[in-house]
Amino acid sequence: MQDNEPLMRALAKLVSVNNPDKIIFVGEALVGNEAVDQLTKFNQALKDFSGLQNPRHIDGMILTKFDTVDDKVGAALSMTYTTGQPILFVGTGQTYTDLKNMRVGHIIHSLLKE
């Protein structure tokens, strides 16, 4: 939906009108680099369509379906590198208790395993 301009305009307006404490991007870790594209376009829409002189950007990310990720874990690194913002939580199941803090060691291990 990141290419749906009316939706992106509506989301940017929602942010500028309501002025939330945090803007959290929620995406699926399973889609790999598609998540990077979604994040980049969402962040750009916040800038382009907010109507604010100093537009806001995302403050962090939640990645769902992280327990199913194997070699696509590099997309998570790309997301943090692209935005400079942290991955706050990763989803590893179906319930709220399945939201876990991001473990950097787990990412490094996944990247370095043969």
Q: Tell me the two tokens of residue 7.
A: 């939706």
Phi-psi region of 90 (alpha: psi -120 to 50; beta: other; left: phi over 0): beta
Has residue 28 got a pLDDT over 80? yes
Buried b (16+ CB within 10 A) or exposed e, 84-99: ebebbbbbbeeeeeee
* Total domains, the chain: 1
Query: Residues 11, 42: contact at Cβ < 8 Å?
Result: yes
Tell me what pLDDT residue 30 has: 78
Tell me what pLDDT residue 6 has: 87
Has residue 17 got a pLDDT over 70? yes
pLDDT band at residue 9 under the 50/70/90 scheme: confident
Expressed as residue numbers, the domain containing 9 is: 5-112
CATH of residue 37's domain is 3.40.50.300
pLDDT in tens, 54-90: 888 999 999 888 777 666 567 788 888 888 999 998 8
Q: What is the mean pLDDT of the segment spanning 46-56?
A: 85
